[in-house]
Amino acid sequence: MDWAPTIEGWLDRLSAERGLSPHTLRAYQGDLGSLARFASTRGVTGPAGVDLELLRDWMWSLDREGVSRATMARRAAAVRGFFAALTRDGAIDRDPAARLRAPRAERRLPRVPSRKQAAETIDLLGAAASEEAPLAVRDLAIVELLYAAGLRVSELVGLDLPDLDLKRGTVRVLGKGGKERIVPFGAPAARALSRWIDARPGLVRGAGAQPALFLGARGARMGTRAVYRLVSRLLRDESLSGPKGPHAFRHAAATHLLDGGADLRVVQEFLGHASLGTTQLYTHVSIEKLREGYRLAHPRA
């Protein structure tokens, strides 16, 4: 039993059974590839030769290399899933990863654009879009929708025209694991999207036009990198220590909803989080803002 075909088989099953994204599958492939390379230095040529001691030595080597806790936790999880599947299938007699533990990932509070920063960014895009240039109108619609609906960038670029319902102010989103959800957006986003729908034909190329909602300058579906470049440029001068890509607006949407009194479970559904614990991170962001305001304003802080 060699590493490569066994890993590929497991990844194919994950893709078919759980609908994991290509990005997640590539990450898992890299995690298991890291283990395979380490195992080869110990003379182990396949999964059947792995034991708990080797796995612990591998984790220790990752720590010595300066690999982050979050990456180590993900790699340990990938390995546990991989060997658990091999054990269930009878490919190996005993699961060597059943007792494998990794350092707990640090949960850093995301720094998000304030309401003022978000509004100023959107106003800047609105001014650029005032001349109705298709790309400028598109950029405004992208940022409005990212912020209004709290979308992941992969969800945004995966949208097709039929997914958008301007009358109801909703968008149908295919999230992680192939899970579909309907997300609302407000009137400003609806106006920006309506303008983009009108301007979109200016970027359409050929008879077989793309059904994609957002198009690039050459008429093809817009990719994640292009959205990252757009948002990173907009947030470049902002005093944020956290992400300055599209996820910054997802963080902002969640935080501002909770600041405004939205129920935690409503925000969980809005964001498409499988675990409420993931959504709870944003309550800590709100508490930190409260503490900061208290320290600045209270005479006995």
User: Which residues are catalytically annotated?
Assistant: 152, 176, 247, 250, 273, 282
Q: With beta carbons less than 8 A apart as the criterion, state whether 74 and 102 touch.
A: no
> How many Cβ atoms from other residues are within 10 Å of residue 57's Cβ?
15
Residue 73: exposed, middle, or buried by beta-carbon count in 10 A (0-12, 13-18, 19+)?
A: middle
